[in-house]
Amino acid sequence: MYRHRAVFISNLQEARYYIDQIGAAEEAYLFMAPKAVHRCILLKDIPCRWANIIKQEMLAKGGEAAVSRESLYAEGDTDILLMGTFKQYRLLIKKLNMQPDFLKKLGQEIRAIIDNLEPNPFTMELAGGKTLELGVRTLIMGILNITPDSFSDPGHYFKKEAALARAMEMVEQGADIIDVGGASSRPDSSMAEAEEELNRVLPLIKSLVREEVIISVDTFRGVVARECLAAGAHIINDIGGLQMDQELLPILADFKAPVILMHNRLQYNRGLPYQDLLSDIIGELGASIKQAVNGGLKPEQIIIDPGIGFGKDRQQNLTLLKRLGDFKTLGKPILIGASRKDFIGRVLNAEIAGRLEGTMAVTAAGIMNGADIIRVHDVKENVKVAQMTDAIVHAHG
């Protein structure tokens, strides 16, 4: 009796593992695994007349759907919380595909969400012919601020020689990507002009391209991105999510360069309150993704960043970490950059120098909840955290 246990299965691969371990009929997993994985999907602002159809169809498939208590009689909209297995969702999608256009389109969106929730390792093509393996293990991005006023290491690497030495030290410690920034984005800093930003980062990039290292440039400016990509940089890390400089996107498309789209209500949409934290951020990132694809980027060249610390308070940042898996809805690799940030200091009552352990805890939690890339100052320590957490995440049984 005491050997019985509950089994928490998070994806189809895990379901297949258990089915195969039992010795079920060959390929039984094809029809069994979709019944083993349960998912909840939140649909926003659905007209009540359609919501009631969706609820009845989900109930008919053995699933469940929570709608507003007024939806049966109201003319407005309601959110819907769908609850079901992959199998039930597939049956629902098949049924919705035979309905009017609104429900047919909604079925396609549900299918995309379900597909995006499954692990999907792939090779990302970078500018300059390099590639990046995503989804196999967690990648570490080392932060290199060439600024006099960054919140964590102001002026430490302002000279090219010091910056280059630090970059190579981080590579030796296990960094997969070096993220070079020449303009501080902290709330109380004055933003460097484009010419000054270029003067800071370009000499370092020209030196780094001679090394075997992937270079990301932390900039929202098109003119800075163009010069850095021409010099050999591989990725642009845009804190503006394509909203702060309309010249950036065509340059990314010209260079076939991947972009990291960060959500940011600190530099744009400042003060705009959240109606629903997760849904608002996912919706705004989704709009940036659509803009990027419409502007010429390949869908597989986009990474998303929920923007921890940018226009979010302590509790909102913690919620983003806890619910990071919700961002898999968008089907893009997820980067988090929470290293040494203020919310860690508030939780631990620690100044910047005392936030290493908190950052390491965030790294572990982020990986457990679906992060693909972790952006940090302390590379050596966080590489080890990532290795250990990856081993746990990928363990069988």
Q: Are residues 44 and 188 in the same domain?
A: no
Q: Do the domain assignments include residue 10?
A: no
Distance CA 43, CA 45 (A): 7
- Domain count of the fold of the chain: 2
- Tens of pLDDT, residue by residue over 137-187, are 999 999 999 987 555 555 566 688 889 999 999 999 999 999 999 987 765
Say which CATH number the domain at 271 has.
3.20.20.20
pLDDT at res. 3: 87
Check whether 397 has a pLDDT greater than 70: no
Q: Are residues 85 and 142 in the same domain?
A: no
Q: Which residues are CB-contacts of 375 (< 8 A; sequence separation ≥ 6)? A: 141, 143, 179, 335, 336, 337, 339
Q: Are residues 178 and 286 in the same domain?
A: yes
Q: Are residues 134 and 97 in the same domain?
A: no
Q: What are the residue numbers of the active site? A: 341, 375
Q: Are residues 41 and 78 in the same domain?
A: yes
What tokens were used for 377? 């100052």
Domain endpoint, select from 59, 88, 116: 116
For 134, phi and psi rounded to 5 degrees? -120, 140
Q: Are residues 262 and 324 in the same domain?
A: yes
Q: Are residues 139 and 98 in the same domain?
A: no
pLDDT at res. 54: 97
Domain that holds residue 49: 37-116
pLDDT at res. 241: 96
Bridge partners for 47 per DSSP: 77
What is the CA 137 to chain-centroid distance, rounded?
Answer: 15
Bridge partners for 139 per DSSP: 373
Distance CA 34, CA 248 (A): 42
- Tens of pLDDT, residue by residue over 331-387, are 999 999 999 999 999 999 999 999 999 999 999 999 999 999 999 999 999 999 999
Say which CATH number the domain at 84 has.
3.30.1370
Distance CA 57, CA 104 (A): 13
